[in-house]
Amino acid sequence: MRKVFVEVVVRHSTDGKKTPLYIKWEDGRKFIIDKVIDSTRAASLKAGGRGTRYRCRICGKETYLWQDDDGKWFVEAK
């Protein structure tokens, strides 16, 4: 697995909660996040790195999206 940094559009609520809405892949394709199932502090054991892990449903498939401690967003790619 490799770490792929992605562009993410995020909604910020008045209580400080972040909700990712969609990601833009490295080739320019955009993927809408159907649902954020949960979020927690975690490490990416496959690609390396740690931060806030968002468990998301994208195109009907469950996947993880991280915001690392530097504020960058990434996903694990094959």
Give the pLDDT confidence score for residue 12 in this predicted structure. Answer: 96
Mean pLDDT for the stretch of residues 68-74: 94
Whose tokens are 């390396």? That residue is 48
> What are the residue ranges spanned by the domains of the chain?
2-77
- 38-59 pLDDT, tens digit per residue, is 999 998 888 888 899 999 999 9
